[in-house]
Structure 1
Amino acid sequence: MSQKNPSKALEATNITTAICLACAALMFTEVPVAAWNAVVCGAMILTISIKALNSYGERAEWLNLSLGCWAALSPFVLGFSSSMAATWTHVVLGAIVACVAAAQLALGKRANSGVDNR
């Protein structure tokens, strides 16, 4: 079900974060798994966020929430946590994506329930 996007600014934050994550792969040339993970996660988050800008749906935010959590946990799951730059980049940017997606979900529920705190 497509609804009005509760906050395009938050979606733009995810787009910017996704671009940063994908471009960060250039810093991780010594850790190929980190580089590939950054590119793939960044591209997926970017694609989902651009789609959500035009046609908001809870599914997009749940996907971004999942991808953000994956990005934050992936250094430990994929075994590149010994690379501090790759680890912190994934953890911080993944946490940003997950928090923004959670905020979008909360705002979407509030908008759809008719709650207005003005």
Structure 2
Amino acid sequence: MSTLSKRLSLQWKDAICLALGLWMIVSPWTLSYIDAMNPSWNAWIMGALIAAAALAALSAFHKSEEWFSVIFGLWLIIAPWALEFSGMPVATWNHIVVGVLVVLLSLWTVVTASDTPGLMT
């Protein structure tokens, strides 16, 4: 498989992470937890960071963007307890599900890309 084909096969995961980041930004309004400060601010900040890392990976892939996304996803998973909004099921599950998806997609990209010389720097 050529480097270009390999790169294109990796990019769909980054595109999904971009969509997940954008979802996190709008989720406080969509899921009606906008009045709760901790989950809303966390969703906006982490959504922006996930989207930025995905955009960076889509424009010029580097392994570091994927590792940052893994960290951001892990934070989303633990944030409901760290920021004390675990009593809000909608916000909690939104953070957990998006976090798990971001972690899985980013790790998958790292593992898949690691076999491709010249794809990453």
**Shorter-chain TM-score tier:** 0.7 to 0.9
For the pair 1:78 / 2:83, whether they are aligned, the reply is: yes
Q: Distance in 2 between matches of 1:29 and 1:53?
A: 30
Q: Distance in 1 between matches of 2:93 and 2:74?
A: 13
For the pair 1:18 / 2:13, whether they are aligned, the reply is: no
What do residues 49-103 of structure 1 show as CA deviations (whole Å, max 9, x unaligned)? 0011011001100000000010111001110000000000000001100100000
For the pair 1:54 / 2:81, whether they are aligned, the reply is: no
1:12 alignment partner AA:
A
1:32 to 32, 37, 40: 37
1:103 to 108, 114, 118: 108
Worse overlay, 6-15 or 67-76: 6-15
2:68 match? 63
Q: Distance in 1 between matches of 2:115 and 2:78?
A: 29
Q: Distance in 2 between matches of 1:91 and 1:85?
A: 10
Q: Distance in 2 between matches of 1:63 and 1:112?
A: 21
2:38 alignment partner AA:
V
Question: What RMSD over aligned residues (CA atoms) do the two structures have, in Å?
Answer: 1.7
Task: List, as ranges, runs of 4+ consecutive aligned residues in structure 1 with deviation greater than 2 Å.
Answer: 3-6
TM-score (norm 1): 0.88
TM-score (norm 2): 0.86
Q: Distance in 1 between matches of 2:80 and 2:117?
A: 36
Query: Aligned with 1:110: secondary structure?
Result: coil
Deviation at 1:112, TM superposition (A): 2.7
Q: Distance in 1 between matches of 2:81 and 2:116?
A: 37
What do residues 15-40 of structure 1 show as CA deviations (whole Å, max 9, x unaligned)? 11111111102221231110000000
